[in-house]
A = this chain, B = another copy of it.
């Protein structure tokens, strides 16, 4: 065996994540490792918490990164907030609602599913019906921005309904954080998790979470221990929130947290409203380009995510061949459909650092070239021009 160092190609990442990482983040990640109990590191943890509170628009004291990817952040919310025997209402309109159901059941609780079609937003009326039918429910869980379809749901309304029926809320904000308006405190969200590899322009591997006081109260009054030691927030909190007397829990992923801190500094410097506006603007241009190619969107305009564009594969086109050609000849990654959407849609991300004019224009140019070579019928060249016009308007 003689294996060499790995040197990845330079790709443009316009799939469902990871998205392009800001070079400042990569550079921060390579800074010298220091100890996870070093006072200088502990100061950085405090800064990270403050920056993350800003990103989530919250003053929740329990706001911190979980040292693992978004799916561990999801699990952290469920294993801490759900006890065996409870009933949880899960709204599903894509892949990730299904994963929530798995989490509920592995906590020994019952999941009541509220189903909406893939590509639709969660319907508040259906949630209300389920809440009325299940007065025993203690938690409502839903995905704010479904990464598998590109649909955004009205989190504020869903949370209000849940509260009206004395339920806490668990919200998946993996794809929405920093890309679409998200107001944890104003909307009253109780537990939220996200990922770093989408609109934060950071490397994958960390899951930021935030818990309201009501959620913390529930964790602290549990009758049974949290089934996961690694994700037990009563232990993790003593490390992240312990001030000078921090209790050792696990060894923090030091360099990944440098990267996360840097990505949050970049967001602070841009301003979160400006980040939302940038995602919206680049989406408009991409949309203009797709429309010029006759490519239509899965999701209705009323609930369409600007940072994740699910579009139908034109008839007669081999969708996998297009993605392979884009990757091999253009170093451009776009995403495939998942589950029932496999083979039918592409998912084109414009997230974080990847949400920029150059990417919009390059992606449209490359797709134009590949699709017209494969015989798709549209006015070649029109897509880039339409996007350019959108930017200039």
Do B205 and A205 touch (CB < 8 A)? Answer: yes
Q: Which of A10-18, A214-222, A359-367, A380-388 contacts B (4 or more CB under 8 A)?
A: A10-18
Q: What 1/0 mask marks residues of chain A from 1 to 24 whose CB sits below 8 Å from any chain B CB?
A: 111111111110101011011001
Residues on B with beta carbons closer than 8 Å to the beta carbon of A7: 31
| Copies of this subunit | 2
Residues on B with beta carbons closer than 8 Å to the beta carbon of A106: 225-229
CB-CB contacts below 8 Å: A91-148 with B: 99, 102-103, 105-107
Do B227 and A227 touch (CB < 8 A)? Answer: yes
Interface: A258 (CB within 8 A):
yes
Contact of A204 among B17, B36, B74, B338 (CB under 8 A): B36
CB-CB contacts below 8 Å: A39-63 with B: 39-41, 44, 47, 50-51, 54
Q: What 1/0 mask marks residues of chain A from 238 to 263 whose CB sits below 8 Å from any chain B CB?
A: 00000000001111111110110110
Do B28 and A29 touch (CB < 8 A)? Answer: no
Residues on B with beta carbons closer than 8 Å to the beta carbon of A107: 227
Do B265 and A75 touch (CB < 8 A)? Answer: no
Residues on B with beta carbons closer than 8 Å to the beta carbon of A268: 1-3
Do B28 and A15 touch (CB < 8 A)? Answer: no
Interface: A26 (CB within 8 A):
yes
Most buried by B among A8, A15, A29: A8
Do B226 and A8 touch (CB < 8 A)? Answer: no
Do B20 and A265 touch (CB < 8 A)? Answer: no
For the complex, what is the distance from the CA of A99 to the CA of B251, rounded to whole Å? 14
Do A18 and B227 touch (CB < 8 A)? Answer: no
Q: What 1/0 mask marks residues of chain A from 71 to 98 whose CB sits below 8 Å from any chain B CB?
A: 1101100010000000000000000000
For the complex, what is the distance from the CA of A264 to the CA of B41, rounded to whole Å? 27
Do B265 and A4 touch (CB < 8 A)? Answer: yes
A72-B68, A251-B197 known; A15+B35 contact, CB < 8 A: yes
Closest 5 CB pairs of A and B: A205-B253, A30-B30, A68-B68, A71-B250, A203-B255
